[in-house]
Chain A
Amino acid sequence: MKRVGVFVCHCGLNIAGTVNIKEITDAASKTPDVVVAADHRYLCSEPGQALIKDNIKQHRLDAIVVAACSPAMHEITFRNIARAAGLNRYQSEIANIREQCSWVHDNIEKATEKAHVIIRQSIEKVKLNELLDPITVPVTRRALIVGGGIAGIRAALDVANSGHQVYLVEKTGSIGGRMAQLSETFPTLDCSICILGPLMVEAYRNPNIKILRLSEVEEVKGFIGNFKVKVRQAPVYVDETECNSCAECVKVCPAEVPNEFDSGLTWRKAIYIPFAQAVPPAYVLDAKSCLGLLPQACGECKKACDKLGMSCINLDAHPETHELEVGAIISATGYEMYDAARLTEYGYGIYPDVMTSLEFERMLSASGPTSGVIRRPSDGRIPKEVVFIQCAGQREPETALPYCSKVCCMYTARHAMLFRHKVPDGQAYVFYMDIRAGGKGYEEFVKRTQEEGGVLYLRGRVAKVHEENDKLVVKGVDTLSGKTVQIDADVVVLAVGMVPSQGSRELANTLKASVDENGFFAEAHPKLRPLESATAGIFLAGAGQAPKDIPETVAQASGAASKALNLLSSPTLEREPTVARIVNEFCSGCGICVPACPFEALSMNRERKIAEVAEALCEGCGTCVASCPSGALSLRNLTDTQIMAMIRAGRG
């Protein structure tokens, strides 16, 4: 029989406050096969670890049970101690008497009794644990980054500069993302494209980065270190290596559609360059707005291009599927704006002078529809009275978005300030709920807007906007004076919130990563693992995970890149050996387990007509074990025998 040692942690008063440590230690020491039981204030501390090590050696222990916090916290710590003391690391078991006992109970007597049961069960389990070694798998030392915004670009550069190959997959015709659309950035008022542009060019020139524009991830198979990804690239009608951006094709194109880059405030042709600084610097043919490619209806662009002796345009281009092998994936899918037309009280989409912040942003931009002059969309006049409505459709759990998008207080302050710079005799009003300006230099910026900028901040919400005599009548309340306010404005700007980009939910499904209730990518742990999804090898960066501003996005992107590099730095990686195992003689070949597995780790061996487990794919969830009607499947170190022994021990 195994010689077992039990170690009980006080965790300060976290456990000792509710559980009688002495009683359970004594009880544990009297359990059969337990050679020694000891307790310590903090087992995870250096002296605590030393206590375990010494006891393993002194009492020649074969296995240990550590009664402490959740295995999510310190399972690895104690396994490493066991290993350092000469044991197999899978001879260490955690009895969770904190999260599953002391924290959730207040009756000391009953909590102590329960802690004892948990410890007894762990003793029974560890006695039946096999000796296991981690599974070693090779790592494909390349990364895939989904989304070519600032997050994707930053992460791609970090990974590429460490000498690894990167595929940067971008849905649109150019990398750059939302940041390329912004005029200035808060709080320093740097020109956005001026600081982003160099990074875009750097990414384009970096030999380790392959940019796949007009592409989307279609399928992801495999597991951490060894993903097999299919990326579907829409037909690239304009060869980016040939195109010299002469714009002759644009002149002859007859199809015009709203320009997404200018938030629909201007028009573009079906063949177009996404924006002046686009990377790759090449034109894009938008098949949806083209008059017709199959069958070809017009072809004017190709004729114009051919006339110049060039041959950039191939109207017979086909979609392409790239099959990529990568070790790590970073999802940097970013955000889009909440649909302001759903906020019917503000009349967006009905009154042309009610605009979203992103539209106002384009208007402020020197490259925007009005070359940086602020004009009313309805008649082109320069507005004198502008009302900014913060939290539009945000922090409203019942009707719109329940959350705060975090950046609107800051960009609204910037918009109001820039409006005052451009229209010195104008008046800006900001309706706010409260100002959230947490960040370096942010509070100072808002103060400056209020004091030097002469912007009038009104604390309260706007009930309604309607048009009357060429003005937008804004009715709201100033909750500081307790009075209703009516402002006859020329332009109303809605600070609508950030929502996950279209298609990010589908991507999450493809990646087997989860999303939260608002559709943002869910991190593995909100505090301690914010850069990783719950699926191993999938990392998160940028506003696709939660609304965030540029500095935070860049920081997270570099963080996610370093997580990915961590994985790519070694040619192999270790995986938990506590995976499913099949007893071939018992398997009837019914195949029920194959669809039950969420990780595609089970398959049928056609020749032998039995199921097989791909250990490297198995996450050890146990679904297949439960599904097997003939008991051929079991989970290593959590077998039915062990579970029965634990149940028996639990009954006392």
Chain B
Amino acid sequence: MQSYLYFPGCSLRTVARDFEDSARASARALGLELKEMQGWLCCGAVFPNVADNVMTNAGPNRILARARAESDTLVTLCAGCHNVLKRANLQAKRNAIKQEQINEFNEERYEGGLGVLHFLEVLRDRVGFIAIREAAKTPLRGLPVGAYYGCLLLRPFEEMKLDDPHRPSVLEDLLFSIGCMPVDYPKRTECCGSFLGVGAPDAMALLSRNVVQAARSHGAKLLTVSCPLCKYNLEESQKQDPKASSSSGPLPVVYFTQLLGLALGVSPEDLRLSDTQLQTIRGGAKSTVESVSQT
């Protein structure tokens, strides 16, 4: 079984257990092991990305140093952690002076040499979508899913190098490989409102609702994400919107790993899928199959 060193991050151990459990279960089903790294700590959320501060980089660099001691590759799941760790990793390569300051402070040296990957990159570049399609025992035929990218997974492009920031396809390609019908809708790379949910919840709700409405109007039955904060915002904005819930109920939001796991034959309990989520998935997949067979 191929093993990858893996960084969970805070959200995945608290509000987003479903993300972590579904990812590790899916990985197992694909013959991969996500091995938790030793001594991980908070990546610092997006604060290390400010250009003029050295202090906030201490955390991510400790993580990178410790991961380097164990492996040459580190896999992340949360789009936010992925963003921070990739940028800190690149900074270590590009800004020697700043890196020296950080290393002196940390008393734990990180001098590059680690490759930071998002789990999607492992699926796409190491496993391959063709292999995933072959491994998908119970594909979710015809399920209309809106892939939501948000900001942190793709931007800034020069540093993330994951996919085209304006017209990405990695999530859609994955969804295709497990039988879903990804929905192309205009807002899929726009911001969900991020931390505005704390200080200006109305602004966040407006942005997130735009995303949900665009996905819904283009035929999505559910949304899939790679970021716990996006998921929270997309769900929360719908709770506050009486219109959305009154019509056809809120649009469920799931992690891509939950859909992947389901297609690979992992039990819904192990994927921590709620009943409503499961119902939508089963309903969406089935109804489309019927409509296709009728025509």
Chain A residues with CB under 8 Å of B166's CB are 344-345, 464
**A464 vs B167: C-alpha distance when bound (angstroms):** 11
Q: Whole-angstrom distance from the CB of B45 to the nearest CB of chain A? A: 26
**A399 vs B167: C-alpha distance when bound (angstroms):** 14
B186 contacts the other chain (Cβ, under 8 Å)? yes
Chain B residues with CB under 8 Å of A473's CB are 186
Per-position contact with B for A83-111: 1 when CB-CB < 8 Å, else 0? 00000000000000000000000000000
Q: A344, A398, A464, A467: which contacts B164 (Cβ < 8 A)?
A: A344
On whether the beta carbons of B158 and A347 are closer than 8 Å, the reply is no
Q: Whole-angstrom distance from the CB of B212 to the nearest CB of chain A? A: 15
**A640 vs B38: C-alpha distance when bound (angstroms):** 65
B146-199 contacts to A (CB < 8 Å): 157-158, 164-167, 186
On whether the beta carbons of B186 and A468 are closer than 8 Å, the reply is yes
Chain B residues with CB under 8 Å of A512's CB are none
| Total count of chain B residues near the partner, CB < 8 A | 7
With A344-B167, A347-B167 already in contact, the answer to whether A467 and B186 are too (CB < 8 A) is: yes
Q: B158, B165, B167: which contacts A398 (Cβ < 8 A)?
A: B158
**A347 vs B158: C-alpha distance when bound (angstroms):** 20
**A466 vs B167: C-alpha distance when bound (angstroms):** 11
Chain A residues with CB under 8 Å of B186's CB are 464, 466-468, 473
**A345 vs B165: C-alpha distance when bound (angstroms):** 8
Q: Whole-angstrom distance from the CB of B156 to the nearest CB of chain A? A: 9
**A337 vs B198: C-alpha distance when bound (angstroms):** 47
Per-position contact with B for A340-355: 1 when CB-CB < 8 Å, else 0? 0000110100100000
**A347 vs B186: C-alpha distance when bound (angstroms):** 11
Per-position contact with B for A460-475: 1 when CB-CB < 8 Å, else 0? 0000101110000100
How big is chain A's contact interface, by range? 10 to 19
Residue of B nearest to A343 (CB): B166
Q: Whole-angstrom distance from the CB of B213 to the nearest CB of chain A? A: 11
Chain A residues with CB under 8 Å of B164's CB are 344
Chain A residues with CB under 8 Å of B158's CB are 398
Q: Whole-angstrom distance from the CB of A392 to the nearest CB of chain B? A: 13
Chain A residues with CB under 8 Å of B157's CB are 399
**A467 vs B218: C-alpha distance when bound (angstroms):** 11
Chain B residues with CB under 8 Å of A399's CB are 157
**A468 vs B186: C-alpha distance when bound (angstroms):** 8
Chain B residues with CB under 8 Å of A467's CB are 186
Interface residues of chain B: helix, strand, loop or mixed (majority): loop
Residue of A nearest to B214 (CB): A468
Chain B residues with CB under 8 Å of A468's CB are 186
Per-position contact with A for B69-82: 1 when CB-CB < 8 Å, else 0? 00000000000000
**A398 vs B159: C-alpha distance when bound (angstroms):** 12
Chain A residues with CB under 8 Å of B165's CB are 344
Residue of A nearest to B164 (CB): A344
A311-366 contacts to B (CB < 8 Å): 344-345, 347, 350
Per-position contact with A for B200-216: 1 when CB-CB < 8 Å, else 0? 00000000000000000
Q: Whole-angstrom distance from the CB of A24 to the nearest CB of chain B? A: 42
Q: Whole-angstrom distance from the CB of B121 to the nearest CB of chain A? A: 19
Residue of A nearest to B156 (CB): A398
**A473 vs B217: C-alpha distance when bound (angstroms):** 15
**A350 vs B164: C-alpha distance when bound (angstroms):** 15
Q: Whole-angstrom distance from the CB of B243 to the nearest CB of chain A? A: 19
**A345 vs B157: C-alpha distance when bound (angstroms):** 13
**A197 vs B113: C-alpha distance when bound (angstroms):** 62
Chain B residues with CB under 8 Å of A466's CB are 186
**A350 vs B186: C-alpha distance when bound (angstroms):** 12
**A464 vs B186: C-alpha distance when bound (angstroms):** 9
B72-129 contacts to A (CB < 8 Å): none
**A400 vs B87: C-alpha distance when bound (angstroms):** 22
Per-position contact with B for A470-498: 1 when CB-CB < 8 Å, else 0? 00010000000000000000000000000
B220-242 contacts to A (CB < 8 Å): none
Q: Whole-angstrom distance from the CB of B270 to the nearest CB of chain A? A: 37
Q: Whole-angstrom distance from the CB of A477 to the nearest CB of chain B? A: 15
Residue of A nearest to B168 (CB): A344
**A466 vs B165: C-alpha distance when bound (angstroms):** 14
Per-position contact with B for A372-408: 1 when CB-CB < 8 Å, else 0? 0000000000000000000000000011000000000
**A345 vs B164: C-alpha distance when bound (angstroms):** 9
Q: Whole-angstrom distance from the CB of A473 to the nearest CB of chain B? A: 7
Q: Whole-angstrom distance from the CB of B266 to the nearest CB of chain A? A: 34
Q: Whole-angstrom distance from the CB of B170 to the nearest CB of chain A? A: 14
Q: Whole-angstrom distance from the CB of B191 to the nearest CB of chain A? A: 12
Chain B residues with CB under 8 Å of A345's CB are 166-167
Q: Whole-angstrom distance from the CB of B211 to the nearest CB of chain A? A: 13
Most interface-central of A344, A350, A398 (chain B CB within 10 A) = A344
**A399 vs B164: C-alpha distance when bound (angstroms):** 11
**A399 vs B161: C-alpha distance when bound (angstroms):** 13
**A464 vs B187: C-alpha distance when bound (angstroms):** 10
Residue of B nearest to A473 (CB): B186
**A399 vs B165: C-alpha distance when bound (angstroms):** 11
Chain B residues with CB under 8 Å of A350's CB are 167
Q: Whole-angstrom distance from the CB of A160 to the nearest CB of chain B? A: 50
Chain B residues with CB under 8 Å of A344's CB are 164-167
Q: Whole-angstrom distance from the CB of A15 to the nearest CB of chain B? A: 39
**A468 vs B218: C-alpha distance when bound (angstroms):** 9
**A467 vs B157: C-alpha distance when bound (angstroms):** 24
A270-325 contacts to B (CB < 8 Å): none
Q: Whole-angstrom distance from the CB of A103 to the nearest CB of chain B? A: 32
**A464 vs B166: C-alpha distance when bound (angstroms):** 8
Q: Whole-angstrom distance from the CB of B55 to the nearest CB of chain A? A: 28
Q: Whole-angstrom distance from the CB of A632 to the nearest CB of chain B? A: 48
**A468 vs B184: C-alpha distance when bound (angstroms):** 11
**A398 vs B155: C-alpha distance when bound (angstroms):** 14
**A464 vs B188: C-alpha distance when bound (angstroms):** 12
Chain B residues with CB under 8 Å of A347's CB are 167
Per-position contact with B for A430-470: 1 when CB-CB < 8 Å, else 0? 00000000000000000000000000000000001011100
Per-position contact with B for A244-280: 1 when CB-CB < 8 Å, else 0? 0000000000000000000000000000000000000
Q: Whole-angstrom distance from the CB of B215 to the nearest CB of chain A? A: 13
**A369 vs B11: C-alpha distance when bound (angstroms):** 57
Q: Whole-angstrom distance from the CB of A289 to the nearest CB of chain B? A: 30
**A70 vs B49: C-alpha distance when bound (angstroms):** 49
Q: Whole-angstrom distance from the CB of B1 to the nearest CB of chain A? A: 37
Q: Whole-angstrom distance from the CB of A349 to the nearest CB of chain B? A: 10
Residue of A nearest to B188 (CB): A466
**A467 vs B167: C-alpha distance when bound (angstroms):** 13
**A464 vs B191: C-alpha distance when bound (angstroms):** 13
Q: Whole-angstrom distance from the CB of A193 to the nearest CB of chain B? A: 37
Per-position contact with B for A579-592: 1 when CB-CB < 8 Å, else 0? 00000000000000
**A467 vs B185: C-alpha distance when bound (angstroms):** 9
Q: Whole-angstrom distance from the CB of A389 to the nearest CB of chain B? A: 14
Q: Whole-angstrom distance from the CB of A387 to the nearest CB of chain B? A: 16
**A536 vs B286: C-alpha distance when bound (angstroms):** 74
Pick the 10 closest A-B CB pairs, nearest first: A466-B186, A344-B167, A344-B166, A345-B166, A344-B164, A468-B186, A398-B158, A473-B186, A464-B166, A467-B186
Q: Beyond A345-B166, A345-B167, A398-B158: 4 further Cβ-contacts under 8 Å?
A: A344-B164, A344-B167, A350-B167, A468-B186
16 pairs from A and B in contact (CB 8 Å cutoff): A344-B164, A344-B165, A344-B166, A344-B167, A345-B166, A345-B167, A347-B167, A350-B167, A398-B158, A399-B157, A464-B166, A464-B186, A466-B186, A467-B186, A468-B186, A473-B186
B residues at A contact (CB < 8 Å): 157-158, 164-167, 186
